[in-house]
Structure formats: structure tokens, C-alpha cells
Amino acid sequence: MKRPYPFILILIIFSISCQNIEKPGPVAEYSFNGNALDESGNDNHAVVHGARLTSDRFGNENAAYYFDGSSGYIEALVSNMPAVEDPQTIACWFMIDQPPGYPDSLGADGMISLVDSAADIGVQFGYRAPGYHTLGLDVWYWGGRTVLETDQPQLNKWHHIAYTFDGKTHRFYLDGQQKAQSVVKPQHGTPKMLMFGNYPGGDQFFRGSMDEVCIYTRALPSAEIELLYNKKE
């Protein structure tokens, strides 16, 4: 009997090894289980200002945060964040129980801001007023330039949202499905501040609940976005 050729054995070993390689996890992860601590291991712990604990999408008490739309927000000084122009994913669960309210035609209900306000750069997403002439649930750069937009989802229901950028193409996912993509030229710089429910020095307060915020330094493919959406606990 002939013995297997060495290169075949090497190929088999290599294939098995690749199957066992773990993909990089989040550089910031907030499960909001009773607090706003970063569970990624990078110590990007957040401070809560006025937001209050509420039930998550499974009905677990004190496992998400509610923002009142007028003063509540959460903030963290962060490191290890992806530069605006580099591959990244920002994802979370959210729910609103009534249509968003805006102070004026260019107002917003800002859910997440990953920014450096001193350098005027960063990624934000949330709801924006009709003055922006978008579908209303948007991703935008610091200063207001629209990156992506999609329709506003159903009220009184938890939804999963994710923004990815692979260095060339921006993609917007809602409830596990891609809704939009663009090739808007990115800003340049590395965010230093992460805020939930507003942006630094701003008055664009989010009104609703938020949970399970994750930030990655890679663009998650659609299959992984779907896994996040279908996560049961």
C-alpha cells in the first residue's frame, strides 16, 4: 500500500488548524447587565448619566438601559478603537416605543457616537429629522454627512442594527439583513470618546432602550451579523 504523500498530510493538518482559529472578538462590549462595564477585556468602562436600567428583549430585568430623550446618556473614554477609515463593525440592539422627537428640522435621536470631537471626526448613528432628506435611520460622519440610510423599523419591538466598513464599502444591517451600502469617502482619525444616547456637547438625545453594544476592528461578514441577530442569550 502506498503511503500518503507528505504534502497531502500537511494540507489536511492545515485545514483542521484553520477551522480552529478563533476570529478576533470585539474591542468593546457592553452587555448592560446591571452596569455599563466593558466586557471585552480592554477596560473601556462607561459612566452612566441619567439613563436607567430596564428589561432586555428576553424580559430579563436590569439587563438593558433606557434613555429618556432629554438628558440621559452614557459615555466612555476609549482606546483600541478602529480609526474611522479602517475596517470596523458597530452593532447593538435597540427599541423605541414612540416616533422619535426632534428639536428642529436638523435634529437627531443619537444612539451611538464613536468620535473625537476635538478633531471633528467620528461615526454616529441613530434617527435623524426630515431636514436631512433621508429615510430616517442613518449612519453619518461628524458634521452630518450621511454615510448610510434605511427605513425606520416597527415601534415597540427590539431590533438589531449593525454598521460595517471594510475599508472601501459601508454596509448597514437591520435585523440580520443588509439594507444599504455605499462607498462614501471616510474621515480620518481615531475616536477617543464613545457615547450612547447623545454626542459630546450635543443635545441630540435618544429616547428608547439599548442593549448589547459591540465594536470590532474588522468588518463582520453578513453570516456573522446574522449570528448576532439570532443570538438567544
Judge whether 175 lies within some domain. yes
- Bridge partner list, 209: 66, 95
**For 166-174, what is the mean pLDDT?**
98
* Range in 100-104, 108-112, 113-117, 203-207 the model is least confident about: 100-104
**pLDDT tops 90 at residue 7:** no
**pLDDT number for residue 21:** 39
Instruction: Tell me the pLDDT of the chain averaged across its residues.
Output: 91
Instruction: Give the total number of structural domains in the chain.
Output: 1
d(CA 162, CA 152): 14
| Secondary structure E strands in the chain | 28-30, 47-49, 52-54, 64-68, 73-77, 88-95, 108-116, 121-128, 136-141, 146-151, 159-165, 170-174, 177-182, 193-196, 207-216
What's the count of helices (H) and strands (E) in the chain, helices before strands?
Answer: 2, 15
Judge whether 14 lies within some domain. no
**pLDDT number for residue 214:** 98
- Rounded to two decimals, the pTM is 0.89
SS3 for 98? Answer: coil
Judge whether 5 lies within some domain. no
**pLDDT number for residue 22:** 55
Q: What range does the domain containing 43 cover?
A: 25-230
**pLDDT tops 60 at residue 19:** no
| CATH, residue 55 | 2.60.120.200
Could you report the per-residue pLDDT of 45-82, keeping only the tens digit for each? 999 999 999 999 999 999 999 999 999 999 999 999 99
**pLDDT number for residue 101:** 87
Judge whether 8 lies within some domain. no
- Please give the residue that has the higher pLDDT: either 220 or 19: 220
Could you report the per-residue pLDDT of 144-167, keeping only the tens digit for each? 999 999 999 999 999 999 999 999
Contact predicate 26/216, CB 8 Å: yes
Judge whether 85 lies within some domain. yes
